[in-house]
Amino acid sequence: RCVDPCLTIAASMAFRSPFAAPFDKREEADALKRKISNQNYSDHLTLLAAYNGWTNSLKRGKAEMRDYLRKHFLSYNTLSMIRQMKRQFRDLLTSIGFLKRAG
């Protein structure tokens, strides 16, 4: 239950931040980032919440996903890279026996 969030956070920390806002929208972007964080003041948990929001929006379709990214000033390319790194971390942990193979 805790492995998936830990993998997300590790992958997020291994790459650049998915938050990207134009200079003239920094205040708005910071306010939305605080909203995503649920006022927890943790960069790690904020990254996790942003990633989870993105994956949930993906399940509702491309239009929802694009809307989520736009509204929260998030980079699709960065989130996709984080997802790929997360899979690589899971595969590595599985290959050394730390995690059981799915199925």
- Residue 44 in tokens: 């790690």
pLDDT one-digit tens code per residue, 59-70: 999 999 999 999
Radius of gyration for the alpha carbons in the chain, expressed in angstroms and rounded: 15
Alpha helices in the chain (DSSP H): 3-13, 26-37, 43-59, 62-72, 76-95
- The pTM for the full model equals 0.86
- pLDDT the model gives residue 43: 86
Indicate the average pLDDT of the chain.
90
- pLDDT the model gives residue 25: 84
Q: Mean pLDDT across the stretch 88-101?
A: 93
- pLDDT the model gives residue 30: 81
